[in-house]
């Protein structure tokens, strides 16, 4: 009888603890953006996009600047994911390149960016134009 009582108390405590410890509430959103870039030594660009977050679409503007070796111009149609979003306001901010981005076969490219709140954008898509870049890039995203 005492064993059953101890087991019952242990199960109640375990159940109570499982209600207190919750998994991360961070959500992943879908991102679509068209970004135009041009430069000679210093590159600049901008674009507009849509973040789909918690079933709603949010328009945003992206402005970028790169410093280093940049020659040419390009237009990129990118799609991907925004991960580690806890709330919509986490999406805005200044993003820097994480790891290496670059051109893939067939004029496609990919890039990973991270902002000061830990949101990571993983984007890929088609690129039109001619551009060579070996530089440090920053992109500022603001919600419209």
Domain boundaries, the chain: 24-143
Q: Is the pLDDT of residue 54 over 60?
A: yes
Q: For the chain, how big is the Rg over CA atoms in Å?
A: 22
Q: Architecture of 24-143 per CATH?
A: Beta Barrel (2.40)
Say what the pTM is.
0.72
Query: Helix, strand, or coil here: 101?
Result: coil
Position with higher pLDDT, 127 vs 73 = 73
DSSP-assigned letter for residue 88: G
For the chain, percent of residues with pLDDT exceeding 70: 62
On average, the pLDDT of the chain sits at: 77
Q: Residue 73: beta bridge partners?
A: 38, 130
């Amino acid at each position: 009888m005492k064993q059953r009582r101890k087991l019952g108390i242990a199960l109640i405590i375990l159940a109570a603890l499982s209600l207190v410890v919750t998994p991360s509430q961070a959500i992943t959103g879908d991102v679509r953006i068209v970004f135009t870039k041009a430069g000679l030594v210093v590159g600049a660009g901008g674009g507009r996009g849509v973040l789909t977050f918690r079933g709603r679409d949010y328009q945003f503007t992206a402005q970028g600047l790169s410093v280093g070796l940049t020659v040419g111009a390009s237009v990129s149609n990118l799609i991907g994911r925004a991960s580690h979003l806890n709330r919509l306001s986490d999406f805005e901010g200044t993003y820097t390149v994480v790891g290496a981005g670059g051109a893939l076969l067939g004029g496609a490219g990919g890039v990973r960016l991270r902002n000061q709140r830990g949101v990571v954008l993983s984007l890929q898509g088609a690129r039109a134009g001619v551009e060579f870049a070996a530089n440090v890039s920053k992109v500022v995203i603001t919600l419209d």
